[in-house]
A and B are shown apart, each in its own frame.
Chain A
Amino acid sequence: MICQDFRIVNLNEFSDKKSASFDIKNNEKLLFIGCKDFNLTINVLENVSALISMLFLNDDSSFKLTINLAKDTQIEAFCADFAFETFKNNVSINLLGEGAICNWHLASLSQKADNKSHSISATHYAAKTTARIDNYGVAKDDSHLTFLGVSHIKDGSAKSKTSQNAKIMVFDEESIGTAKPILKIDDNDVVANHAAVVGKINEEHLFYLTSRGLCEDSAKALITLGYLKPILAGFDDNHQKQIMDLIEGRMNNVRY
């Protein structure tokens, strides 16, 4: 049973060190805020279930995260990236103990000449481990958004399951979306899949919404909100509202 309240960790308070390590010993929800140029390590101890969330706002960026999962741990990880800037984020998920499970969810919005790169990798070092990486993004206003990541099942990690899904919606001709979900499989008895989708906003969806009187900007904002909104499940009410307001603001404050 995970505690309903989030423990909020403001990494700006560690700004002199630029790195920190946390051991998660109990079932809990952790929310990390303010991650600029930070190196964060999270060790999840045996039999612990936890929810880990990260919020990138304003100019918080260039961040390195390592999550080490011990035996029979279960993590739901949510990363909401609505920061401005050019940066590279690197996330390494190490499934060290048998039966470890990690489900990773990323929602990223790039705009106004941002050049963002998220590299999310999962490495299976033990048998019966599971990792699911879901990265969703929107690239608009001449920006470049990249999702990279390697899901690697090491030899001896039989009965493991891994998946890498990357999906980027590109709003305009000038923006670029790049998705490269890679699999490396060294054991035979595993389940692995990967998928990459980069494309324009669905023309039929846009027509449907505009045929009800929504201008194109409002329709795009509503579709984007619907596309990125599942990330809210990883945040408390206050931050959910903050994220919603931010997406609406980033979508040019259109009314819908």
Chain B
Amino acid sequence: MSTLRIKNLHAEVEGKEILKGINLEINNNETVAILGPNGHGKSTLFNVIMGHPRYKVTKGSIFFDDVDVLALSTDQRSKLGLFLGLQNPSEVPGVINSDFLRAAVNAHNDNPISTYNFYKVLDNAVKEVQMPFDLATRSLNEGFSGGEKKRNEILQMLLLEPKISMLDEIDSGLDVDAIQIVADVIKKQQQKGQGFLIISHYARLFDLIQPTRAIVIINGKVVLDGGKDIIQRIDKTGYEFIKTELGIEIQKEEAKMNTVSIGSCAVKEAIKK
């Protein structure tokens, strides 16, 4: 059994602290639902675990079994068995999806996979996520619909067979049938012993995959860690009970200010006159 242990994790982006002491432990046979209002650190946590260069860890530790994850580069974390299914996967012009997928598979193996074997594996995975095969031959995510990008993330997860997958709003942009397909893939991987950390704002996906636990991240901390009944409660009543029952004030997401204000435009106009 593999365990991911996060202790007192603090992280900032562009000088602003987002994670303020995350504590979390997950085994590879668990599926943990991560909930919380927008802008409170859920996606930041995933990016920090995977080593996104924009995020700076200022305190705390992440260990995968006895390996110090924070000491590894992003590609080494992937090879360790961690996978991040992104909320908004990048479109990379010119990079053919199948070239990229094969490169990723090869990076995880000591010996390069043969062309025949790769296409066999790819064909099976494409069928499992019910994705048109031509998407594998097009530029990576370029011109893909939101749903196609999410299926492509799941396809990559299938090909790389990680120990723990972090899926960030994998259900956004998916129609009802596509959510069912993704849920079926996750259930199959659960049975193989793959662990999941899954962010979603909707109960539908969680109803289908039946998480073993649910946690709530607010103000950059895990404020609630319990059973899946938390999901139903938040789905019905929102996050108000966090304040009334736990006494935690939910900080509002700061609205980004436009760098050009109406005031400055007006001043320029006034000077012209």
Chain A residues close to B by CB (< 8 Å): 202-205, 207-216, 218-219, 222-223, 225-230, 255-256
Contact = CB atoms under 8 A, between A and B. Distances in A.
Nearest to B85: A211
Contact of B86 (A208, A218, A219, A230): A208
Given A222-B100, A255-B106, A208 B90 contact: yes
Given A207-B74, A210-B78, A214-B104, 10 more contacts: A205-B92, A211-B77, A212-B100, A212-B103, A216-B73, A222-B99, A226-B92, A226-B139, A228-B94, A229-B94
B102 to A, nearest CB: 8
Interface string B81-92: 001101001101
B263 interface: no
Nearest to A254: B103
Interface residues on B, range: 20 to 34
Nearest 8 A-B pairs (CB), nearest first?
A: A226-B94, A213-B107, A256-B103, A226-B95, A212-B104, A213-B78, A210-B74, A208-B90
Contacts of A229: 94
A16 B193 CA distance: 71
B50 interface: yes
A202 B95 CA distance: 13
A230 B95 CA distance: 11
Given A214-B103, A226-B139, A205 B90 contact: yes
A218 B102 CA distance: 12
Contacts of B89: 208
Contact of B106 (A208, A227, A256): A256
Contacts of A226: 92-96, 139
B156 interface: yes
A223 B90 CA distance: 12
B15 to A, nearest CB: 17
A209 B92 contact: yes
Contacts of B94: 223, 225-230
B99 A216 contact: no
B240 interface: no
Contacts of B78: 210-213
Contacts of B95: 209, 222-223, 225-226
Contact of A212 (B53, B107, B112): B107
B84 A222 contact: no
B90 A213 contact: no
A210 B86 CA distance: 13
Contacts of B74: 207, 210-211
A18 B43 CA distance: 61
B198 interface: no
A211 B50 CA distance: 7
10 contacts: A205-B92, A209-B100, A210-B73, A213-B79, A214-B107, A223-B95, A226-B94, A227-B93, A255-B106, A256-B103
**In this complex, which of A205, A223, A226 has the most chain B Cβ atoms within 10 angstroms of its Cβ?**
A226
Contacts of B120: none
A63 B137 CA distance: 37
A212 B160 contact: yes
Contacts of A223: 92, 94-95
A18 to B, nearest CB: 36
Interface in B62-83: 73-75, 77-79, 83
Nearest to A212: B104
B54 interface: yes
A212 B90 contact: no
Contacts of A227: 93-94
B112 A255 contact: yes
A241 B54 CA distance: 37
